[in-house]
Amino acid sequence: MRNEIVITAEGHKGTLERLQTEFSAIKLWEASDRDAALRQAAPRVRALAHFGHAKVDGKFMDALPKLEIISNFGVGVDAIDLDAARQRNVIVTNTPDVLNDCVADTALALVLNTLRKFPQSESYVRSGLWPTRGAYPLTTSVGGKTLGILGLGRIGEAIAKRAQAFGMKIRYHNRNKKDVPYAYDPDPVALAKNSDVLLVVTPGGAGTAKLVDAKVLDALGPQGYLVNVARGSVVDEAVLLRYLQEKKIAGAGLDVFEHEPNVPAAFWTLDNAVLFPHVASATVETRKAMGDLQVENLHLHFAGKPVKTPV
Q: Which of 124, 142, 108, 117 minimizes the C-alpha distance to 274?
A: 117
Is residue 234 part of the contact set for ligand 8YV (CB under 6 A)?
no
Contacts of 288 (CB under 8 A, 6+ apart): 12, 14, 15
Residues 257-286 that bind ligand 8YV (CB under 6 A): 278, 281
Q: How far is the CB of 200 from ligand NAP (least distance, A)?
A: 9
CB 73 within 8 A of CB 12: yes
Alpha helices in the chain (DSSP H): 13-22, 34-41, 58-62, 82-87, 100-116, 118-126, 130-133, 154-165, 188-193, 214-220, 237-245, 265-268, 284-302
Q: Mind giving me the DSSP string for 37-102?
A: HHHHHTTT--EEEE-SS--B-HHHHHTSTT--EEEESSS--TTB-HHHHHHTT-EEE---STTHHH
How far is residue 301's CA from residue 310's CA, in Å, rounded to a whole number? 11
Q: How far is the CB of 262 from ligand NAP (least distance, A)?
A: 16
Supply the DSSP symbol for 281.
T
Q: Which of 159, 106, 79 minimizes the C-alpha distance to 275?
A: 106
Q: Which residues pair with 240 in a beta bridge?
A: none
Residue with smaller CB distance to ligand NAP, 8 or 202: 202
Is residue 99 part of the contact set for ligand 8YV (CB under 6 A)?
yes
Pick from ligand NAP, ligand 8YV, none: which does 210 bind, CB < 5 to 8 A by kind? none
How far is residue 308's CA from residue 152's CA, in Å, rounded to a whole number? 23
Q: Which of 169, 167, 168, 173 minimizes the C-alpha distance to 152?
A: 173
End-to-end CA distance of the chain: 29
The residue from 4, 68, 258, 260 that is catalytic is: 260
Residue with smaller CB distance to ligand NAP, 45 or 152: 152
Pick from ligand NAP, ligand 8YV, none: which does 154 bind, CB < 5 to 8 A by kind? ligand NAP
Binds ligand 8YV (CB under 6 A): choice among 37, 48, 70, 75: 75
Q: How far is the CB of 132 from ligand NAP (least distance, A)?
A: 38
Residue with smaller CB distance to ligand NAP, 182 or 302: 182
22 counts as catalytic: no
* Binding stretches for ligand NAP (CB under 6 A): 75-76, 96, 99, 103, 150-156, 173-176, 201-204, 207-208, 211, 229-231, 255-256, 278, 280-281
231 counts as catalytic: yes
Q: How many C-beta atoms surround the C-beta of residue 143 within 10 A?
A: 8
Is residue 74 part of the contact set for ligand 8YV (CB under 6 A)?
yes
Binds ligand 8YV (CB under 6 A): choice among 29, 31, 52, 118: 52
Q: How far is the CB of 283 from ligand 8YV (least distance, A)?
A: 10
Residue with smaller CB distance to ligand NAP, 27 or 53: 53
The residue from 22, 278, 296, 299 that is catalytic is: 278
10 counts as catalytic: no
Binds ligand 8YV (CB under 6 A): choice among 25, 70, 76, 91: 76
Q: How far is the CB of 175 from ligand 8YV (least distance, A)?
A: 19
CB 124 within 8 A of CB 136: yes
List of residues contacting ligand 8YV (CB under 6 A): 51-52, 73-76, 99, 278, 281
List active site positions: 231, 260, 278
